[in-house]
Amino acid sequence: MDYPEELLYSQEHEWVSVDGNRARVGITDFAQDALGDVVYVEMPELGATVSANVSCAEVESTKAVSDVYSPVSGTVSAINDGLTNTPERLNQDPYQEGWIYEVEMSDLSELDAMMDASAYRAFSEGES
């Protein structure tokens, strides 16, 4: 499993890359591995308001359909259109090409509730 040090992680197995008040969101290597082969990604709407810990997208795999919970609140400012035709990017490269959406955060303090890489590693190893 890969746990990039520069990211923050949620208990629902999403990751966040922060740049100012913008956050890029995706699912972790642990999550994509548990899901199996991803066949479809339902994105949030561009311009939609998302709330922390509330479902805003779905990932469908050969095993199951799973909700993606927004780790932070704000407005969706970008979506990864590349996942429409190649949803398997979530399996192949979950931290780069497999990002799902970006959000302009409305409450930066929500980041304080997220885990760093070492805490997330311990958390996910406890779930496996």
Per the domain annotation, does 39 fall within a domain? yes
- What is the model's pLDDT at position 8? 98
Per the domain annotation, does 3 fall within a domain? no
Per the domain annotation, does 120 fall within a domain? yes
Model-wide pTM > 0.85: yes
Please, which pLDDT band fits residue 26 given cuts at 50, 70 and 90?
Answer: very high
pLDDT tens sequence across 114-123: 999 999 999 9
- What is the model's pLDDT at position 128? 65
- What is the model's pLDDT at position 89? 95
Q: How far is CA 70 from the centre of its chain?
A: 7
∠ CA 27-9-124, nearest 5°, is 80
Would strands 8-9 and 65-69 be described as parallel, antiparallel, or unpaired? unpaired
Per the domain annotation, does 97 fall within a domain? yes
Q: In the numeric block, which tokens belong to residue 116? A: 């760093």
Query: 49: part of which helix (H) or strand (E)?
Result: strand 49-50
Per the domain annotation, does 62 fall within a domain? yes
| pLDDT > 70 fraction of the chain, expressed in percent and rounded | 99
Per the domain annotation, does 2 fall within a domain? no
Per the domain annotation, does 1 fall within a domain? no
Q: Domain containing 113 — which CATH number?
A: 2.40.50.100
Give yes or no for residue 127 having a pLDDT over 90: no
pLDDT tens sequence across 36-49: 999 999 999 999 99
Print the domain residue range for 50: 8-127
Looking at the structure of the chain, the number of domains it has is: 1
Distance, CA of 45 to CA of 67 (rounded, Å): 15
DSSP-based three-state secondary structure for 58: strand
Q: Among 109, 121, 97, which residue's Cα sits nearest to residue 18? A: 109
Per the domain annotation, does 109 fall within a domain? yes
